[in-house]
Amino acid sequence: MEEIPDESIYNLIPREEVKVPKAPKSVSQFSQSLKIKEHKNKTDHKTMGTAKVEVPSPKQYLLKHTREAILAQKSALLGSTGKPPRCLAEDKKRPPVPVRTEQPIMAVQTNKSFITSNVAKAVTAVPKKPQPIYVDNIKGDKHLLEASGLVPKYIKKKDYGSTPEYLVKRNEEVRRAQEEYDASVKERFKMGAMEQLSLQKERQSVLEGLKKNWDELHHEYQLLSVVIDTPTKKAHKERLEAEMSQLERDIEYILKTQDNIHCK
């Protein structure tokens, strides 16, 4: 839209005033309840409060000069300072004044020279050692050296460097357990040791059993996959080979013993 210059005939035409509508005013939903709560019971008993005693009768009003005697008695008790005397303020009685014939209690006299005793204590006293400190910044902040961890306290202990008692007991228990285990293993080896086969039938039955076990392991070995690419497969193959070789050595040993017996 083109701007109309100030000196233009179009400025003489009256224009309608465009009123910008105002945004709606935000009104709280609790405003009315707050007003009611604020003005509630605000003017009840505003000056004197609630009546806690019976209201006096209008006929029993205060007459002139009726309280003067009470006020005079009170002012005489209070005195010029406006405070009650001590005899009225304190209910406890003070001790009576001593009699003229009563002798005062004298303090115990001594010939001790406190100056001399204090000098002797100061001379014989052990001087107090200053606590070691350390400074950790340029401002001179001081801290106790003992609690800083810089003092080697633990290396000066009597039991420093020695094995703790609980570790000694544990090592002793481990040693005993190992000895008992070794003894039980030796006993089992003795009990399960191979007895010498004297009879040919027993040797033949053992040989057949070994050959049967070797056939089973060989059949299982033949069923292995061609590609062995996992650690589990490799371990299984090695176990079979080890067991088969052990059986072969046992069979060979029994065959040799049979040959020696036949030769004899």
Residue that wins the pLDDT comparison between 117 and 80: 117
- Which structure tokens are listed for 136? 């950790």
Tell me the three-class secondary structure of the chain, residue by residue: CCCCCCCCHHHHCCCCCCCCCCCCCCCCCCHHHHHHHHHCCCCCCCCCCCCCCCCCCCCCCCCCCCCHHHHHHHHHHHCCCCCCCHHHHCCCCCCCCCCCCCCCCCCCCCCCCHHHHHHHHHHHCCCCCCCCEEECCCCCCEEECHHHCCCCCHHHCCCCCCCCHHHHHHHHHHHHHHHHHHHHHHHHHHHCCCCCCCCHHHHHHHHHHHHHHHHHHHHHHHCCCCCCCCHHHHHHHHHHHHHHHHHHHHHHHHHHHHHHHHHC
pLDDT tens string 162-209: 888 899 999 999 999 999 999 998 888 777 655 554 567 778 888 888
Residue 175 has what pLDDT? 94
- Range name among 14-18, 95-99, 101-105, 192-196 with the lowest pLDDT average: 192-196
The residue with greater pLDDT, 181 or 63, is 181
Read off the pLDDT of residues 250-263 as tens digits, 9 standing for 90 and up: 888 888 876 665 55
Residue 135 sits at φ, ψ, to 5 deg, of -115, 130
Measured in degrees and rounded to the nearest 5, phi and psi for residue 134 equal -140, 155
Q: What would the mean pLDDT of 218-229 be, rounded to a whole number?
A: 85
Q: Report yes or no: 158 and 147 within 8 Å, Cβ to Cβ.
A: no
pLDDT digits (tens, 9 = 90+) for 29-60: 888 888 888 777 677 667 776 767 777 788 88
**Residue 165 class from Cβ within 10 Å (0-12 exposed, 13-18 middle, 19+ buried)?**
exposed
How confident is the model over 224-246, as a mean pLDDT? 87
Measure the CA–CA gap between 260 and 252, rounded to whole angstroms.
Answer: 12
Q: What is the pTM of this model?
A: 0.26
CA 198, 199, 204, 209 dihedral sign is negative
Q: Report d(CA 63, CA 145) in Å as an integer.
A: 86
Closest to 210 measured CA to CA, from 194, 232, 188: 194
